[in-house]
Amino acid sequence: MTKIPSILLIYTGGTIGMVKDYKTGALRTFNFDKLLKHIPEINHLKCTISSISLEEPIDSSNMNTTNWIFISEIIEDNYEKYDGFVILHGSDTMSYTASAISFMFENLSKPIIFTGSQLPIGDLRTDAKENLITSIEIASARENGNPIISEVCLYFEYKLYRANRTTKINAEHFQAFTSPNYPPLGESGVHLKFNKQLIYKPTIIKPLKVRKQLDNNVAILKIFPGITKTVVESILSSKGLKGVILETFGSGNAPTDKWFVNLLEETINKGVQIVNVTQCLSGSVIMGHYETSIELEKIGVISGNDITTESALAKLMYLLGENIPKNKFKYLLETQLRGEISLIE
């Protein structure tokens, strides 16, 4: 007899966990123990569902590294008891949290699916029901007794994405997320279809390791035409700074002004890691492709390839927390660890 998968639902906060009090019009937190009352369709899913809600739901704008560690510990503590995990999270910073969790969980062999919604669960036209039901279905999907998904994913509006490839693109439409440089891992329509050739499959099941030493002494420096030395200097001279995501133009280009390059070089020489990420929604950094990025390559700026800013930030925090030797840091940042960047042919 086939074992029925058990899924743990973790509510961290966000619109999906809200219901409207129709007498007052105010939104209040949803009691997930009464899930079947609000969404009876869940009875049709071939799995058992348990739920944990944070005592104080977190608006996703308030998410931080401490919260990421707390979420990771809930999964870690329950990892052996459940076959899959669905994390309900506010959409604003979901790509950041989901990317961070993907780096924190090494040797993952079970699905961790992030989802949320643009409208509360009790609203007439809500997207919450479909996102929640399908996420649970994905987390419990199995083939030959093994989970189809064994990585951290994000499901939203009929599409399943690799979490560390996503970015939020819309504050109003139901299709709030995209994965600019990697195709969806699955799609929900009349049938739930997986693009199995794109899904990560662990060849050897190793013991789970949860990496919780995140270092948030990092900054994002988005360059723009007319950026001043004072602005760049103020960010790069921040006390305790260990890493910088440098958001550049096009395929990794930046001003060639001597002061700009000198400031970056001085910062790198102090041991600060600088990662070059494109401001474009899709595409890749190609260092040295244009004259305006040759200087960056020369002074030791690391190429982010086609990584998203959200994923680059999470990866930087993770690697800094692991105290990687300086001579290995560049290699690991430019190497695919959790499917977050495309392999360079």
Q: Which of 12, 15, 93, 134 is catalytic?
A: 15
User: Which string of DSSP letters, residue by residue, matches 105-150?
Assistant: EET--S-EEEE--SS-TTSTT-SHHHHHHHHHHHHH-EETTEES--
pLDDT band at 36 (very low <50, low <70, confident <90, very high): low
CATH code at 280? 3.40.50.40
Active site residue 15: yes
pLDDT band at 266 (very low <50, low <70, confident <90, very high): very high
201-237 pLDDT per residue, tens: 888 889 999 999 999 999 999 999 999 999 999 999 9
* 41: pLDDT strictly greater than 90: no
The whole-number average pLDDT for the span 58-81 is 96
pLDDT for 48: 94
Do 196 and 222 reside in the same domain of the chain? Answer: no
Do 267 and 193 reside in the same domain of the chain? Answer: no
% of the chain at pLDDT higher than 70 = 97
Do 141 and 267 reside in the same domain of the chain? Answer: no
Instruction: State the sign of the Cα–Cα–Cα–Cα dihedral 139, 32, 22, 57.
Output: negative
CATH code at 187? 3.40.50.1170
| CB contact at 8 A, 269 and 180 | no
Do 162 and 241 reside in the same domain of the chain? Answer: no
pTM comes to 0.95
276-331 pLDDT per residue, tens: 999 999 999 998 877 778 899 999 999 999 999 999 999 999 999 999 998 899 99
89-145 pLDDT per residue, tens: 999 999 999 999 999 999 999 999 999 999 888 787 889 899 999 999 999 999 998
Lowest mean pLDDT among 16-25, 39-48, 73-82, 295-304: 16-25
Do 13 and 121 reside in the same domain of the chain? Answer: yes
How many domains are there within the chain? 2
pLDDT for 205: 87
Q: What is the mean pLDDT of the chain?
A: 93
User: DSSP code of 327?
Assistant: H
Q: Within its chain, how far is the Cα of 79 from the centroid? A: 20
**Which of 177, 210, 243 is the last residue in one of the domains?**
210
Does residue 35 fall inside a structural domain? Answer: yes
Does residue 345 fall inside a structural domain? Answer: no
Do 59 and 77 reside in the same domain of the chain? Answer: yes
**Which of 189, 210, 231 is the last residue in one of the domains?**
210
Residue 88's domain comprises 6-210
The whole-number average pLDDT for the span 181-199 is 96
Do 200 and 226 reside in the same domain of the chain? Answer: no
Do 178 and 287 reside in the same domain of the chain? Answer: no
